[in-house]
Amino acid sequence: MPELHLRARRSSERATDFVRRLPVGVEPIADGVHARVWAPDRQRVVLQLEGDHPGAVPLEPDGRGYFAAWLPGVGAGARYRFRLDDDPTPYPDPASRFQPEGPHGASQVVDATRFGWTDDDWRGLDPDAQIAYELHIGTFTPDGTWAAAAAKLPLLAELGVTAVEVMPVAAFPGRFGWGYDGVDLFAPTQLYGTPDDFRGFVDAAHHHGLGVVLDVVYNHLGPDGNYLRQYANAYFTHAHTTEWGDAINFDGSDAEPVREFFVSNARYWIEEFHLDGLRLDATQSIFDESPTHILAEVADAVRDAGRRAARSTWVAAENEPQHAWLARPRSAGGAGLDALWNDDFHHAALVALTGRDEAYFSDFRGSAREFVAAAKHGFLFQGQRFLWQKKPRGTPALDLPPTAFVHFLENHDQVANSVRGERLAQLSSPGRVRALTALLLLGPQTPLLFQGQEFGASAPFLYFADHEGELARLVRRGRADFLSQFPSIAAPDVRAALADPGDPATFTRCRLDWSERDARRPTLALHRDLITLRRGDRALRGPLDAAVLDEHAFVLRYFGGDDGDRLLCVNLGGPLHFRPLPEPLLAPPVCARWREAWSSEDTEYGGRGAASPDAGQEGWGLAGESAVLLVSEPADRGDRRA
């Protein structure tokens, strides 16, 4: 996006040139601030200063719906709001950089250049080598602040993850929330600290070799504290609708300033917070029939901001209909995103782990065939009919690389979409969880862990949102209605037992108990060792084939060339003994034999002992509910064959 050059008059005799960082908002300059806001529905806009030095400064219209003014003598920390025409209510800045008192309060001027970064040597993220870790700042630690989360970063670095994916932080109303109802997209919520506290978190992450990716919501704004309509009805459109109401106007009349607003927001996080990328929420609800889709522009903005800082970036998206074009390069007609979340893998895994096959899980069996297909092709539904939705789901994605799919066993949505928000460690057998954790972390797709998963956290993750009055009642009822798609939850007595999203106790129950990390060392060791294997074994990045052994067992074969082959055997059922087994992927390379390199049944992980396949002349065996990684090595002279 081109830089915006403006001329602001100091007096009738003198003018000064300067360059804005972003098109809208209030930005410090050498001896004051410059304010610019898009308000095409208004005739007059006045900036009202508050606090120790109150005052009112009219902004000048430019004839294109923008109003601007230079305010000498005003600096960082000043608080302000805008008055619009004759409306007696002052409103916060739509592009406020901070809302110290929340979305309904005054905006505050922030000088992003004052922060002392120490990450000049950080080069960003390799999109093909990510191990992501999703967290919610408010529940990640008991304190729920950026500073407290930063203190835990050495533990994540020790675990071996490469990128921290932070759930949305744009300012939202109330004392707690998931963040998906944000209303001030440029203002990190005051609940977790100041904007510089956020920068400090990112700087610390880079110091520990961790990237930071922010979850952003460009498909809707929250229902409380959203003042964009006061400035311009054109921010929204009736041409498209979402489950949250009117869609953002990315392709209708007066859409260009709206597009600029959101594209600038994407660039802002990379430039002013040194973030390493974005995760785009619910992109199926972002509608755009323009020649260049807004998501492509967002990706371009992220890439450009990263290149200017000599850093590589990573952009992933949630897209329930599984539109593969989003992850194709721009040169191939795609949006240029790096990865898409793969719900199909999660749904198959959850059915395999829990037997729960209700609602949107009903088209999955948790079978070996599904895991083989996911390992080889990513999405399981690439245009076939999805019975639950009574329509086809997905589009062909066979051309996408494995790393274009983000796989997970837990995330914020899927853990919370249950009665008690329980983790898989409480819902399934330890053996099955260990085996599928091996598939997650050694499989070819991009793995994602959810906070506390690495040590089997007992804290639930429930839906929580702090609203008042009628809105609180509607949110409570809406959450119960959503969960009622699961027949096991639809019964009146179960609905009555669901946690109230607005109860502070619901929020506090979700905070991680970090003392469990030391108490559950076997689970931590499992995750740490698997991540070490993934990052250190080059053969695991080689070409892959896979085969079904029976309904619950399968193998992945990595062809590692000079590094030798790898064979990951996963059995989610009972003990297996095959005599014979006519599956060529089980045969070792010429003049080689298989050797066990890792087993989920190692006693260090809480297992029952070695689970190495019995690969003798009489057949092949696999222990029940286990996974084992075999490496090929030269056979003894007497065992060699042509």
pLDDT digits (tens, 9 = 90+) for 56-111: 999 999 989 999 999 999 999 999 999 999 999 999 999 999 999 999 999 999 99
pLDDT band at 473 (very low <50, low <70, confident <90, very high): very high
Helix axes 343-354, 368-377, angle to 10 degrees: 160
Instruction: Please give the DSSP secondary-structure letter assigned to residue 578.
Output: E
> Which residue ranges does the chain devote to CATH 2.60.40.10?
4-114
pLDDT band at 611 (very low <50, low <70, confident <90, very high): low
Q: Which positions ≥6 away from 553 have C-beta within 8 Å?
A: 368, 569, 570, 571, 572, 573, 576, 622
Strand partners, 620: 578
Mean pLDDT within 300-313: 98
Q: What is the DSSP string of 109-157?
A: ---GGGS----TT--B--TTS--EEEE-HHHHSSS-SHHHHHHTHHHHH
pLDDT band at 53 (very low <50, low <70, confident <90, very high): confident
The half-sphere exposure of 107 on its side-chain side, counting CA atoms within 13 A, is 28
SS3 labels along 511-574 = CCCCHHHHHCHHHHHHHHHHHHHHHHCHHHHCCEEEEEEECCEEEEEECCHHHCCEEEEEECCC
289 is catalytic: no
Strand duo 592-599 + 626-634: pairing: antiparallel
Q: Express as a percent the part of the chain with pLDDT over 70.
A: 95
pLDDT band at 17 (very low <50, low <70, confident <90, very high): low
Helix axes 255-273, 294-308, angle to 10 degrees: 30
Q: What pLDDT is attached to residue 326?
A: 98
Strand duo 566-571 + 626-634: pairing: antiparallel
Q: What is the DSSP string of 284-327?
A: GG----SSS-HHHHHHHHHHHHHHHTT-B-EEEE--TT--GGGG
Q: What is the DSSP string of 585-599?
A: GGSPPTTEEEEEEEE
Does residue 221 contact residue 182 with C-beta atoms inside 8 Å?
Answer: yes
Q: What pLDDT is attached to residue 6?
A: 37
Does residue 444 contact residue 402 with C-beta atoms inside 8 Å?
Answer: yes
Mean pLDDT within 137-157: 98
Residue 640, pLDDT > 60, answer no
Q: What pLDDT is attached to residue 219?
A: 97
pLDDT in tens, 580-606: 778 999 999 999 999 999 999 999 999
Query: Which CATH number is correct for 539-639, 2.60.40.1180, 1.10.274.10, 2.40.10.480, 3.40.640.10?
Result: 2.60.40.1180
300 is catalytic: no
Q: What is the pTM of this model?
A: 0.95
Strand residues in 326-477 grouped as ranges (E): 339-341, 385-386, 391-392, 405-408, 446-450
Q: What pLDDT is attached to residue 621?
A: 85
Mean pLDDT within 98-126: 97
pLDDT in tens, 23-35: 999 999 988 999 9
Q: How many residues in the chain? A: 642
pLDDT band at 637 (very low <50, low <70, confident <90, very high): low
Of the candidates 281, 288, 466, 625, the residue annotated as catalytic is 281
Mean pLDDT within 166-170: 98
Mean pLDDT within 461-489: 96
Q: What pLDDT is attached to residue 19?
A: 83
> Which residue ranges does the chain devote to CATH 2.60.40.1180?
539-639
Does residue 93 contact residue 100 with C-beta atoms inside 8 Å?
Answer: no
Residue 617, pLDDT > 90, answer no
CATH class of residue range 4-114: mainly beta
> Higher model confidence: residue 517 or residue 244?
517
Residue 401, pLDDT > 90, answer yes
Residue 15, pLDDT > 60, answer no
> Higher model confidence: residue 207 or residue 5?
207
Show the DSSP H helices in 309-408 as ranges.
343-354, 368-377
Helix axes 521-536, 430-442, angle to 10 degrees: 20
Residue 180, pLDDT > 60, answer yes
Q: Which positions ≥6 away from 102 have C-beta within 8 Å?
A: 171, 173, 174, 190, 225
Rounded Cα–Cα distance for residues 338 and 406 (Å): 10
Of the candidates 27, 224, 318, 601, the residue annotated as catalytic is 318
> Higher model confidence: residue 20 or residue 4?
20
Rounded Cα–Cα distance for residues 142 and 164 (Å): 18
Residue 124, pLDDT > 70, answer yes
Of the candidates 427, 460, 405, the one whose C-alpha atom is nearest the C-alpha of residue 136 is 460
- Looking at residue 299, its amino acid is A
Of the candidates 34, 42, 211, the one whose C-alpha atom is nearest the C-alpha of residue 123 is 211
Residue 454, pLDDT > 70, answer yes
pLDDT in tens, 315-338: 999 999 999 999 999 999 999 999
Rounded Cα–Cα distance for residues 31 and 18 (Å): 11
Q: Express as a percent the part of the chain with pLDDT over 90.
A: 90
pLDDT in tens, 346-384: 999 999 999 999 999 999 999 999 999 999 999 999 999
Mean pLDDT of the chain: 94
- Cα distances from 167 to residues 80, 138, 140, 224, 327, in angstroms, run 28, 10, 11, 19, 21
Q: What pLDDT is attached to residue 12?
A: 30
Q: What share of the chain is helix, strand, coil (3-state, %, to 5)?
A: 30, 25, 45
CA-based R_g, the chain, Å: 27
Mean pLDDT within 532-549: 96
